Structure 1
Amino acid sequence: MRELSRYFKGYLKETILGPLFKLFEASLELLVPIIIARIVDTIIPSENKGSLVLMIGLLFLFAIIGVIVALTAQYFSSKAAVGYTRQLTKDLFKKIMGLSKEDRDKLTTSSLVTRLTSDTYQIQTGINQFLRLFLRAPIIVFGAIIMAFNISPKMTLDFLVMVVILFAVVFAMSHLLNPIYAKIRQATDKIVNMTRQQLEGV
């Protein structure tokens, strides 16, 4: 991992700012139920129209800020992921070009092409999603539990059960999809090899 982390060099600012903006976005989303609960429980029964307009305006303000923050987070995360992948691909290409003919034949040309294209794209997508969800997902999950406890302690148990089920589903899907992904990669190598052979034949 230390060898791979060096490709973040030059994109450290984007790597940090992306998750931080997502954290800010998640915090804004978690404040919405509190405002709505205050409107329903306090402002509407007291028929305070001034406070009602103020709270609705605050919700709209949160929505606008949330969109801006989300777009900013997407920009920084995408920039970091693309920059990382570009530097990784350059070094990978140099490594492949430095291989001996025997090593290239052993690895096969189709497999090397897949590593330079499909696999690097998957890495880029994975980094992008990680930076966007690294802080947002835990904050949303655990923040929702805390907010549910503040609003209605009875709902907290339901949220905890849903979180446990969610973790179980994610773990099961990851366990099941890993072998499938390996088969897909092998099939991709085969398709690339067949396409290359047909083009050479033409």
Structure 2
Amino acid sequence: MIGDALTFFQTQLNSYIKLKTGGQKEESVQFPEIQLPKELNMQSNAVTALLVNLEEERVFRSGAAYASNLADGTTTASPPNLCLNFHLMFIANFKDYVESLRILSLVIKFFRSYRRFDQQKFPSLGTDIAQLSTELVNLSFMEQGELWRALEMPCSPSALYKVRMLVFQDTELDEIETGQQLGTIETITSQL
């Protein structure tokens, strides 16, 4: 599902940039190439889309298991959905610095124009993803420096977006035959 979301943004941004540049820039948004052991190579003359963080959305987290219905009509406890946000960085890597800024500006304009992505407006979003929303993340100079050091990359023109929210649920788990359920567990504490 994470890959589907990233590929969706790549496709949409490539179409937008191609439209805004009159067809001059095709396939401008790329993913980095990973070289072992851990080196990331950014594409030359392109915007590199890089997933830099995943985090659980705790506001929507339920601590209790919920009931789900199995195919045979019985009910069982299932784990709650897992809601994730992710941070997606777009790094402009063009030989011409001004061109880097121009294409990065188009990325920012795209996310300014489209802050919410849902199935109705974007049927290519995928069936597992109901909707996504984006917001530009403001980092202090110190946080930016820490991020670039962690990535072991030179500082380049970039924009960081927080994307909300992927909802992971295991619908196939409901159909799996489960073993015998445990009985009641009783905890006895001694009283002094």
The alignment's TM-score, normalised by the length of structure 2, stands at 0.23
Which structure's residues are more often strand, by fraction? Answer: 2
Q: Whose Rg is larger? A: 1
The alignment's TM-score, normalised by the length of structure 1, stands at 0.22
Which structure's residues are more often helix, by fraction? Answer: 1
Q: More relative contact order in 1 or in 2 (CA 8 Å, sep 6+)?
A: 1
